[in-house]
Amino acid sequence: MSSRADVCVVACAEAFRGDGEILAAGIGGPVTVLAARLARLTFEPELLTHDGTCLLTGDVPALGEAPGVVEGWLPFREHLWLVLNGRRHVMLGASQIDRYGNTNISCIGDWARPKAQLLGVRGAPGNTRCDPTSYWIPRHSPRVFVPSVDVVSGVGTDRGAFDLRRVVTNLAVLDFRTPGGTMRLVSVHPGVEVDDVVAATGFELDIPDNVPRTRGPTVEELEVLDRLDPERLRDREPA
Amino acid sequence: MSAEEVAGTVESGMTIGIGGWGSRRKPMALVRALLRSPATDLTIVSYGGPDVGMLCAAKKVRKVVAPFVTLDSIPLEPHFRRARQAGEIEFAEYDEGMFMFGLLAGAHRLPFLPTRAGLGSDVLRVNPGLRTVRSPYADGEELVAVPALTMDVALVHLNRADARGNAQYLGPDPYFDDLYAKAARRCYVSCERVVENLLKEGPVQSLLISRSMVAGVVEAPGGAGFTSCEPDYGRDEALQRRYVETPWEEFDEQQG
């Protein structure tokens, strides 16, 4: 039996397929961290993964465990170097995202006097301009999928994004592979209908005639996930 | 020196750089001394954490220059948020990599350094002081010209220092403390322990900051708390949670 979170982790892992010897970086929560580690342990063995602080891990430890083998040092200044070199595929979060993949983590409302101050833009401008970028959004809703974001932190396809790969949510997988670079529905997760995704999205989506189901984990992938996350922390993330 | 003596050198209106990252190795003993000093109207340059939050809560801040303000394990900083939402402070927003280039420019006495980070984003809209520059080479690429981040005073906390001001980090990440030291007119280092021989403590490459860049050393055991100072101690998560949940005046009083 696989859970919705398992489907989401696999869909996030698929974002790293074909990346080769670059850093697969999650944003810190179980789903994106597991995705990078799962991809490395199965179909993308050359990937680099890190421990969430400043080590490149030589082996692939379970969540919350230290690596047994360290293969590199990655303090923050090296992270920032990796970003400029495009040798990193990052899976970011977003409080708002629009049809072109512009995202906001800075603040909600008027920038001069926000209704809700969030983090600040962090590394999103540089990540999206210089690196392959994907997003993991655990709660797909019209509050997140908005017609226009209040502050463009991460740039979208209409503002010079380097390579926006995919958006994985608790409902579906989306990408930007349309002639206009607009968001397209790639697959819906088991138990989700296309209409559910449309209702949860505050702008017009590109929807192909036949929308497949997001694939679930293989037996091997489930075994890896259970070893990396025996307490199933991943199940707490998708809404 | 004492933390109070360091804070006594800070005048109202100055620009203060603060080392560390988020809620990691922040010079909190020096920040707390600054809270109790008369200086106000400060510009704070920081990869921001509770340093920025506390100074905002104490109404010391005119302007924050930062790519983020976060407590790491608690994503949003409550006092910075409140100050922003009340319109009490100015905020110059930077991308993380842009910010490093600003420090590098400041440290190398350059007026700016170019980067792609920021192009296309609203950083250039909400931070209208930023300019772009065109590459003079065949590529002709337009880039962001990140202005030097310079400061009157930088405050950093490291694991060890000697009495002359050479300072050493023993944790896994130097953050950008050496760049703050180099980009500021004066840098003050607090440390867990002042020692005579730094090479007894760690390898030569752990010597991050030279005394030639340091105006004074403060011995402050636990001086980064409640933020982390690996390997001497991790973050005090319980105290950080109390900081978030307690009204500022009450928390400040409890901390003495």
Give the type of residue at A119.
L
Give the tokens for residue B15: 């620009």
DSSP letter for A47, please.
-
What is the model's pLDDT at position B165?
97
Q: Which of B139, B127, B149 lies closest to B46, judged by CA?
A: B149
Helices (H), chain B: 3-8, 28-35, 50-57, 78-85, 96-107, 123-126, 177-183, 237-245, 248-255
Residues 6+ positions from A17 with CB-CB distance below 8 Å? A39, A43, A44
Give the separation between CA B218 and CA A97, rounded to whole angstroms: 46
**End-to-end CA separation in angstroms for chain A:** 19
pLDDT digits (tens, 9 = 90+) for A65-100: 999 999 999 999 999 999 999 999 999 999 999 999
CA gyration radius for chain A?
17
Nearest CA in chain A to B114: A84
Give the separation between CA A155 and CA A132, rounded to whole angstroms: 12
Inter-axis angle of helices B50-57 and B28-35, nearest 10: 10
pLDDT digits (tens, 9 = 90+) for B149-188: 999 999 999 999 999 999 999 999 999 999 999 999 999 9
- Least confident span in A24-33, A54-63, B155-164: A24-33
Residues 6+ positions from B222 with CB-CB distance below 8 Å? B29, B192, B233
What is the model's pLDDT at position B255?
81
Q: Does B128 touch chain A (CB under 8 A)?
A: no
CA gyration radius for chain B?
18
Burial B9-25 (b: 16+ CB within 10 A, else e): bbeeebbbbbbbbbbbb
A58 band by pLDDT with thresholds 50, 70 and 90 = very high
Q: Which of A118, A151, A155 sits opposite B76 (nearest CB)?
A: A118
**Region B204-232: what's the mean pLDDT?**
98
Give the type of residue at B142.
E
Has residue B199 got a pLDDT over 80? yes
Q: Which of A105, A97, A106, A239 lies closest to A175, judged by CA?
A: A97
Residues 6+ positions from B216 with CB-CB distance below 8 Å? B1, B5, B6, B165, B188, B189
What is the model's pLDDT at position A215?
97
Contacting residues of A for B121, CB less than 8 Å apart = 121, 124-125, 128-129, 152-155, 159
Dmax over CA atoms of chain A, in Å, equals 51
Has residue A1 got a pLDDT over 90? no
Q: What H or E segment, with its residue span, contains residue A222?
A: helix A219-228
Q: Say if CB A204 and CB A210 are below 8 A apart.
A: no
Q: Which of A38, A48, A33 lies closest to A85, judged by CA?
A: A48
Contacting residues of B for A159, CB less than 8 Å apart = 120-121
Has residue B86 got a pLDDT over 70? yes
Strands (E), B107-249: 112-115, 131-134, 142-147, 151-161, 167-168, 184-194, 207-209, 216-219
What is the model's pLDDT at position A52?
86
Has residue B118 got a pLDDT over 70? yes
**Region B227-254: what's the mean pLDDT?**
97
**Region B129-145: what's the mean pLDDT?**
97
Q: What H or E segment, with its residue span, contains residue A5?
A: helix A4-14
Helices (H), A16-131: 30-41, 76-85, 124-130
Q: Say if CB A152 and CB B122 are below 8 A apart.
A: yes
Nearest CA in chain B to A81: B97
Beta strands A70-73 and A55-57 are antiparallel
B91 band by pLDDT with thresholds 50, 70 and 90 = very high
Share of chain B above pLDDT 90, in %: 98
Q: Which residue has the tokens 């490459």?
A: B205
B241 band by pLDDT with thresholds 50, 70 and 90 = very high
Share of chain B above pLDDT 70, in %: 100
Check A80 against B97: CB less than 8 A apart: yes
The predicted model scores a pTM of 0.96
What is the model's pLDDT at position A53?
87
* Nearest-neighbour CA in chain A from B67: distance (Å): 5
* Nearest-neighbour CA in chain B from A185: distance (Å): 25
What is the model's pLDDT at position A239?
84
Q: Say if CB A2 and CB A217 are below 8 A apart.
A: yes
What is the model's pLDDT at position B256?
61
Give the separation between CA A33 and CA A47, rounded to whole angstroms: 13
DSSP letters, A130-197, are HSEEEEEESS--TTTB-SS-SS-SB--GGGT-SEEEEEEESSEEEE--STT---EEEEE-TT--HHHH
Using a CB cutoff of 8 Å and minimum separation of 24, what contacts does B234-243 make? Answer: B235/B23, B235/B24, B235/B72, B235/B73, B237/B73, B240/B23, B240/B50, B240/B71, B240/B73, B240/B74, B241/B74, B243/B50, B243/B53
> Residue A145: how many CB atoms within 10 A of its CB?
23
- Least confident span in A53-57, B19-23, B97-101, B151-155: A53-57
pLDDT digits (tens, 9 = 90+) for A193-210: 999 999 999 999 999 999
Q: Say if CB A89 and CB A23 are below 8 A apart.
A: yes
Contacting residues of B for A128, CB less than 8 Å apart = 121
**Region B226-234: what's the mean pLDDT?**
98
Which of B47, B95, B124, B170 is most worth mutating to test chain A (most A CB atoms within 10 A of its CB)? B95
Contacting residues of B for A161, CB less than 8 Å apart = 120
**Region A228-237: what's the mean pLDDT?**
96
